[in-house]
């Protein structure tokens, strides 16, 4: 019987291994599924939380606090990597992050392939492009494709920087505190990495694509980017990170006996 779990009933090694791998698959699957969903949704729509009017009557302009709909499920990815880090170690968490990158390359490839293969749309013989409808718009698929292509580079740069930052900081705090104070490594790693993500994805999206981010007329671009998008995105993610603290505590409490893994220990070789 493993140390610290003597109070539990005996379990054979095969069953225990199956439990651990099954739970890892659930965490990794939730992470990868959420990541795929948020990158497809991306900047297809913006949620406007609040708008304030600034300036004088003769020169008034608005500041909109808004987040892309793709941001909504994003905090779930940090919860998943924190749980994987807690039970399976840094190497497993980094592996899942890399698989997430490859998965999004696959998504982009399918989006590209779906656009180049022949369909039912009318094609302009001179330009070779899809004929626009009466409203001057392309078919819905091509609009989604354009938005996904426009944001995917930004999201991947931000994703890699933020996720690797999250995993590294999580283990830094865990090692520093000797496996104690789960709230510190959960919030400390997530809050800093979310700032990295918010800054990177907004700046790369705007300056890399020059599209996709609505700027209210008369508003200074840098002001809207910093205070309207970066700040709004970070505040949303920060609140989500604080909300998930009791969730990760409950998950660790429920899973530690089921998996027979001491969450206060370092597990960099577990399952390798």
Q: pLDDT of 226-255, one tens digit each?
A: 777 888 888 888 888 788 888 988 999 999
Average pLDDT over residues 123-142: 67
Residue 123 included in any domain: no
Residue 111 included in any domain: yes
Residue 124 included in any domain: no
Instruction: Provide the whole-model pTM.
Output: 0.76
- For residues 163 and 95, what is the distance between their CA atoms, to the nearest angstrom? 11
When mean pLDDT is compared over 136-150, 193-207, 240-254, the highest value belongs to 240-254
Residue 143 included in any domain: yes
Number of domains in the chain: 1
The count of C-alpha atoms lying within 13 angstroms of the C-alpha of 253, restricted to the half-sphere facing its C-beta, is: 6
pLDDT of residue 238: 82
Angle at 239 between CA 168 and CA 179, to 5 degrees: 35
User: Residue 59 contacts by C-beta under 8 Å, 6 or more apart in sequence?
Assistant: 218
For residue 75, pLDDT over 50 is answered with yes
How do residues 153-174 score in pLDDT, each as one tens digit?
Answer: 777 777 777 777 888 888 787 7
Secondary structure of residue 131 in the 3-state scheme:
coil
Domain span at 109: 13-117+136-259
- For residues 231 and 106, what is the distance between their CA atoms, to the nearest angstrom? 31
CB-based burial label for 254 (10 Å; 0-12, 13-18, 19+): exposed
- Measured N-to-C along each axis, helices 13-41 and 75-88 cross at an angle, to the nearest 10 degrees, of 160
Residue 76 included in any domain: yes
* CATH number for the domain harbouring residue 220: 1.10.1760
Residue 110 included in any domain: yes
Share of the chain above pLDDT 70, in %: 81
Q: Which residues pair with 63 in a beta bridge?
A: 52
Confidence of residue 99 (pLDDT cuts 50, 70, 90): very high
Confidence of residue 19 (pLDDT cuts 50, 70, 90): very high
C-beta separation of 84 from 93 below 8 A: yes
DSSP 8-state class, residue 220: -
For residue 28, pLDDT over 90 is answered with yes
- For residues 272 and 253, what is the distance between their CA atoms, to the nearest angstrom? 24
Distance between the two ends of the chain, CA-based, in angstroms? Answer: 21
Please state the three-class secondary structure of 56-106 as a single string: ECCEEEEEEEEEEHHHCCCHHHHHHHHHHHHHHCHHHHHHHHHHHHHHHHH
pLDDT of residue 269: 46
Confidence of residue 151 (pLDDT cuts 50, 70, 90): low
Residue 270 included in any domain: no
Average pLDDT over residues 107-133: 75
pLDDT of residue 25: 95
Residue 8 included in any domain: no
DSSP 8-state class, residue 49: E
């Amino acid at each position: 019987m493993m140390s610290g779990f003597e109070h539990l009933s005996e379990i054979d090694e095969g069953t225990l291994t199956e439990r651990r791998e099954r739970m890892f698959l659930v965490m990794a699957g939730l992470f990868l599924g959420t990541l795929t969903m948020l990158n497809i949704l991306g900047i297809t729509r913006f949620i406007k939380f609040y708008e304030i009017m600034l300036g004088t009557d003769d020169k008034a302009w608005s500041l909109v606090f808004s987040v892309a709909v793709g941001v909504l499920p994003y905090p779930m990815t940090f919860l998943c990597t924190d749980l994987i880090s807690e039970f399976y170690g840094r190497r497993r968490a980094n592996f899942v992050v890399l698989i997430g990158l490859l998965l999004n390359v696959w998504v982009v490839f399918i989006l590209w392939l779906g656009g180049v293969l022949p369909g039912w749309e009318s094609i302009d013989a001179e330009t070779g492009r899809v004929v626009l409808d009466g409203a001057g718009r392309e078919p819905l698929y091509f609009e989604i494709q354009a938005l996904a292509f426009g944001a995917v580079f930004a999201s991947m740069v931000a994703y890699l920087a933020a996720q690797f930052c999250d995993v590294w900081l999580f283990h830094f705090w865990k090692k520093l505190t000797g496996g104690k104070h789960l709230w510190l490594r959960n919030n400390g790693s997530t809050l800093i990495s979310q700032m990295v993500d918010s800054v990177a994805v907004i700046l790369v999206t705007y300056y890399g694509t020059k599209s996709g981010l609505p700027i209210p007329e008369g508003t200074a671009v840098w002001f809207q980017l910093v205070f309207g998008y970066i700040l709004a995105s970070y505040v949303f993610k920060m609140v989500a990170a604080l909300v998930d603290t009791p969730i990760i505590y409950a998950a660790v409490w429920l899973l530690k006996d089921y998996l027979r893994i001491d969450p206060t220990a370092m597990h960099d070789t577990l399952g390798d």
